[in-house]
Structures are given as structure tokens and as C-alpha cells.
Structure 1
Amino acid sequence: METIIQTLTHTPWWVYLLFALIFYKGVRSLKPRAVPLKKLIIVPLVVSAISLDTLFTQINLNGFNVLILSASAVLGLIAGYLMTVRAPIEVDKEHLVYKMPGGITTLLLIFGVFFTKYYIGYEKAVDPTLMQQDGFETFVIIASMLFAGLFIGKLLGYAYHYRK
């Protein structure tokens, strides 16, 4: 219990602010809503940028890691695309607004990204040598690229809805 309290007290204030923001956004996504195209583009780009930054600054990109990276990204792309293509989304092409159904998917995805990144940051703070361990490095690659792929796949699904 003391470890949990220490972890929470040493967490920077802006992490709590970020958590509150994504909680708010996630809860809003539970209800049907109209979302401008600009807002649909921002999250996939931010998640992808964070994932790529992690990969290029903290991971040894050898052949095996590139294979894992590619497979995770492709799986994420396919899953994200299928989630979005099958959703009953309407597009107001004149105003570039998507009429989205409510659902828990967005909440789960953004919490998944948040808690995965928080966990990775925590583990690296406790043991800075952890990134040199193959198992942890593989976990970071899979998690980063799977989430990036999911969000980019969802973005491609939104493009599909726009074109139909």
C-alpha cells in the first residue's frame, strides 16, 4: 500500500490534469455527439507522435524489433479500421462534422494509452535499466504501436465514412 501512495505522491501534477481531461473526454464519448473533423484528426496524430517518439528515442530498432513493431502497427490499423467502419457514423460533408454514436470504445482506448504510458514511465523511473531487457522492450513496442495503429486505423475508418 505504501508503494502505491509513494507512486501517487511522486506523480507530477500535470499527469492528474491529463487524467481528468481524458476522463472528461471519455465520458462525453459515451453519448452520441457531433465531432468536427479537426478533432478527429488530433488524437490519432498525438498518440502516433508519442509512440514514435518512444520508439526512436528509447528502443533499439534491430530486425526483430522492427518485425514486432510492424506486426503490432498492422494489427492495430486493421482493428481500428474495422471498429470504425462498422459503426453507424454519419458525415455532414458541408460542415465537416461527424455524427458519432455513443459508446465505451473511445474511453477504453484513451484509458489504455494513458495507463500503459503511466506504467511504462513508472517502471522506467523505478529501474532505468529496464529498457535494456528484451521482454520489457518488446512490451513497449507492442503497446506503443498497437495503440498508434488503432488510432490511425480509426482515422482511416472516418475517411471511409466520408467517402461513402
Structure 2
Amino acid sequence: MEYVWRILEDTPWWVWVLLVVLVHRGIKALRPTTGPLWRFAIIPVIFLAWGISSLVTDLGLTGLSVGGYLVALIAGIGIGWLMGAGLAVRADREHGLVEVPGGPSTLILILVIFAVKYTIGVWLGMAPAAAGETWFILVDCGVSGLIAGMFAGRFAQYFRKYRSAPQEDLSAAA
């Protein structure tokens, strides 16, 4: 138990702040949400930034790490696009608002990626040489790129549907 406590103590404070922000967004996403379109880009941007940050700080910008990330990102965008295909989106372009349906997928993806990225960070802290191992690079880049891509692909569907949905007044719901 002391070992686990030490890992938690050595975790940078910003990781816990990030977890709180992400879980808050994930819980809000359980219910239909109305807001400005840009607000739905927050999670994709966070995960894209986190993935790129990992590439730069943990793995280095090598052909393997960048290539692995890009392949996973593209695959994730495709999966996210398909995940968002069946979602009904309401649009109020006059007020710049969009309503997206609620569901558990955002919270589940957030918790999965956080757990995986946290585990990878702990692993790197305990065995820094792992950052040079091909399998480790591919797992880290693959998970980061896939999840970031899934959020980005789903956001792209929100944007597409926002532009083509019939105009409704959603200002009372915002």
C-alpha cells in the first residue's frame, strides 16, 4: 500500500486537475447538452494536446512515434466519425448553439484514456528506458492517437450536423 501511496504522491498536481476537469465534462455529457459549438471541441483539443505533449516530452519526435500516432489518430477519427453518425444534433445557428444527445461514451472514453495514460506515465517513471522500446512507443502512441481521433471524429460529425440541421431556437436551453 505504501508503494501505491508513493506513486500517488509523486503524481504532478496538474494531472489531478486534468482528471477533475475531464470527469466533470464526462458527467455533463451523460445528459443532452446545449452550448456553443466550440465547447464541444474542448475534449478533442485536450486529448490532441496531451498526445502531442507525450510525443515531445516522453517519446521524442521519431518516425516511429509520429507515424504511430498519426496512423492511430486517423483510425480514431474514422471510428469517431462512425460513432457520431447516428447522433441527432439540433442546431441554432442564429445564437451559435448546438444540442447533442447525452450518453456514457464520453465518460467511459475519458476514464479509459486517463487510466491508460496514467499507467504509462507511472511505467515511464519506474522504467524510463521503456520509452525507447518499440512496443511501448506503439502502445503509447496508439492509445493516445486512437482516443484523440475518436473525440475529433465525433466532433467533426457534430460540426457537420450542426451546419446541415434545421434551424431551431435553443437559446432557452443554453
TM-score under structure 2 normalisation? 0.83
Q: Which amino acid aligns with 1:83?
A: M
Partner of 2:89: 89
Q: Distance in 2 between matches of 1:71 and 1:20?
A: 29
Partner of 1:134: 134
Instruction: Return closer, same or farther for 1:66/1:84 CA change in 2, 3 Å cut-off.
Output: same
Say if 2:81 and 2:154, in contact at 8 Å, map to a contact too: yes
Say if 1:27 and 1:107, in contact at 8 Å, map to a contact too: yes
| 1:90-117 Cα distance to aligned partner (Å, 9 max, x none) | 1111112111211001111222232222
How many residue pairs get matched?
Answer: 163
Identical-residue share of aligned pairs (%):
31
Following superposition, the deviation at residue 80 of structure 1 comes to 0.7
| SS of residue in 2 equivalent to 1:30 | coil
Unaligned residue ranges in structure 2 (runs of 5+): 165-174
| 1:56-98 Cα distance to aligned partner (Å, 9 max, x none) | 4424523x55553343122101111111121111111111211
Q: Which amino acid aligns with 1:6?
A: R
Unaligned residue ranges in structure 1 (runs of 5+): none
> Is the deviation greater in 67-76 or in 87-96?
67-76
Following superposition, the deviation at residue 35 of structure 1 comes to 2.5
Tell me the C-alpha RMSD between the 2 structures. 1.9
TM-score under structure 1 normalisation? 0.87
Partner of 1:54: 54
